[in-house]
Structure 1
């Protein structure tokens, strides 16, 4: 049987990236893990996850939660470094 931690390791995402998806989509972490893994397997997935994290950053800033905003900016930086996205034709 796989544990949650095993699934995280297989997903290609970090716990923080999964939490950002869960927060954005208002779903439990395990559902966000499945969604994130699925998105990474699609052509539009990397930009979609990037937009999810950016939306979370904007929401945190709008609420005045600068600590959460800073945390999410680090999550975004790590995500982009691990999942570079190149537009078609580049």
Structure 2
């Protein structure tokens, strides 16, 4: 049987990104992992994931949970760095 850790090893997102999706969608981590792996291959999937994480950050800040907002911001930065469609075009 595969564990969550096994599935994370096969996924294109890391644990913090998956946890942010689980929080946003109110689903267990394994379901969020399946959703994320599917969404990351959709034409607008990475934009959807980024939006989810941004909404989670906003929600954490509105609830005065700065430490959680910081964890989510770290997850967002990691997500942006690891998905080339978010990188600024180079100027020559």
User: What's the TM-score once normalised by structure 1's chain length?
Assistant: 0.91
1:61 aligns with 2:57: no
Q: Contact 1:20/1:56 (CA < 8 Å) preserved in 2? A: yes
Q: Which runs of 5+ in 2 are unaligned?
A: 87-92
> What is the aligned partner in structure 2 of residue 35 from structure 1?
35
User: What's the TM-score once normalised by structure 2's chain length?
Assistant: 0.89
Comparing 1-10 with 19-28, which one deviates more in the overlay? Answer: 1-10
Matches within 5 A, 1:64-83: 64-83=64-83
Hey, which bits of structure 1, 4+ residues long, moved more than 2 A?
Answer: none
Give secondary structure in 2 for the equivalent of 1:85.
helix
Aligned length: 86
Q: Which runs of 5+ in 1 are unaligned?
A: none
